[in-house]
Structure 1
Amino acid sequence: MADRGLSERGAGTRALILDTALAAFAEAGYRGTSVRDIATRCGLTHPALLYHFPTKADLLMAVLDRRDDAEGRAAGFDELRGRALLDELVGTARRNADRRGVVELYATLSAEATEAGHPAHAYFVERYARLRETVGRAYTELARAGELRPGIVPETAARQLVALMDGLQVQWLLDPSIDMADALAAHVAAQIA
């Protein structure tokens, strides 16, 4: 019974660290955030935080993985097909309007991670490749069903949609009156026959 209490407390501490790190990375980026600052915000010592996450890069990757796991599971994203997948992306944009910290984190880190030496570089390269492939599959399914307007190339449409999502997020961060979901929905609707 004591081991279970320690395990639950450890899981709670990890969750606190990850939530705090997400907010800190979103505010100041990876380079502008120190592990000591995150530990202080959590009410932990620096060594206590390092017990759970031995390096800052480990902490960053755990934050990104936790967010992706939660988002992907909630949507059942990998199982969606055709229009349902595109509609889910619109839904993600709608949900993101209530999660400024997550949007800031991705906008900041994806820009920082363009440098090959950044700890999240490989993560973002893989994430974008996987997202383009998944969205491209949805467009291909729509094309095969005769549901895409003439002249729309699935692979190109996938790259455009991913770029539009990211660009809308940056614009929304600068001007929260922008409705990311409505703009994305209008784009998708214009492509459907």
Structure 2
Amino acid sequence: MTTKDVGRTARRGPYAKSEERRQTILDAAHAVFAARGYRGGSLQDVADRAGMSQTSLLHYFPSKRDLLMSVLERRDEITSGAFPDDMREGLADSVIRTALFNEDIPGVIELYTVLCAESVTDEHPGRDYFTARFERLRASYARRFAELAAEGRLRPGVDPEEAATSLVALWDGLQTQWLLAPDQVDVARGLRGFFNLVLLPEPN
């Protein structure tokens, strides 16, 4: 090992420890916001769960808003694991697989549902995030439905944009019901039923 290698190792050590602490804080904030929301969960709650002082926490995240946005960004990183590089599957299969993927990640659906509902309140820092997310989802699904219409797969009378809006609303609604009664609500089954209503079977 050269002197340069020793220097690099020394620099990586503190950085790795700092990144580990940051991830610990994000995990704690994820749990707190999922359980209590942004308004109800305090920085002290997060610090206590992370096993540090609030002063130490603020060293990594200068404000509660910064922490929230970082938690939402991390949530997107986690759920992106549902999308492989090779996306050749159809829209219905992609949506259903993603729904099942999210159910297996503790706290992801709870965090999303709680913060999304809370974001409609006055001056909530997550409002722009969720507004942009819904716009992006509606546009993306509308394009996919339009492609299916061009292939003759969309049932007569179904509008691609309306189908996209309905899909987003249904998915969120099913997830909320699933959180309240997981033994009674099957999100994947509900989504599959929707696609059966708006899509024609693939030709043999």
AA of the residue aligned to 1:49: L
AA of the residue aligned to 1:185: R
RMSD: 1.7
TM-score (norm: length of structure 1):
0.92
Distance 1:183 1:15 in 2: 35
Contact 2:82 2:101 in 1 (8 A): no
Map 1:104-119 → 2, pairs under 5 A: 104-119=110-125
Distance 1:59 1:69 in 2: 15
Distance 2:180 2:75 in 1: 23
| Counterpart position of 2:191 | 184
Distance 1:185 1:14 in 2: 39
| Counterpart position of 1:94 | 100
Distance 1:34 1:102 in 2: 19
| Counterpart position of 1:38 | 46
Q: Secondary structure at the match of 2:137?
A: helix
AA of the residue aligned to 2:199: I
Distance 2:39 2:122 in 1: 14
Specify whether residues 76 and 130 from structure 1 end up closer, same or farther in structure 2 by C-alpha distance, changes over 3 A only. farther
| Counterpart position of 2:35 | 27
Identify which of 154, 162, 173 aligns with 2:168: 162
AA of the residue aligned to 2:29: A
| Counterpart position of 1:4 | 12
Specify whether residues 71 and 96 from structure 1 end up closer, same or farther in structure 2 by C-alpha distance, changes over 3 A only. closer
Structure 1 residues without counterparts, runs of 5 or longer: none
Identify which of 130, 134, 137 aligns with 2:136: 130
Distance 2:112 2:174 in 1: 13
Q: Percent identity?
A: 46
Identify which of 130, 142, 152 aligns with 2:158: 152
In the TM superposition, residue 73 of structure 1 has moved relative to its aligned partner by 5.0
In the TM superposition, residue 36 of structure 1 has moved relative to its aligned partner by 1.1
Q: Secondary structure at the match of 1:11?
A: helix
Describe the superposition over 1:140-163 as per-residue Cα deviations: whole angstroms up to 9, x where unpaired: 110111111111100000000000
TM-score (norm: length of structure 2):
0.88
Contact 1:100 1:173 in 2 (8 A): no
Contact 1:22 1:63 in 2 (8 A): yes
Identify which of 53, 56, 62 aligns with 1:48: 56
In the TM superposition, residue 74 of structure 1 has moved relative to its aligned partner by 4.1
Aligned positions, number: 191
In the TM superposition, residue 80 of structure 1 has moved relative to its aligned partner by 4.4
Distance 1:11 1:173 in 2: 32
Larger relative contact order (CA 8 Å, sep ≥ 6)? 1
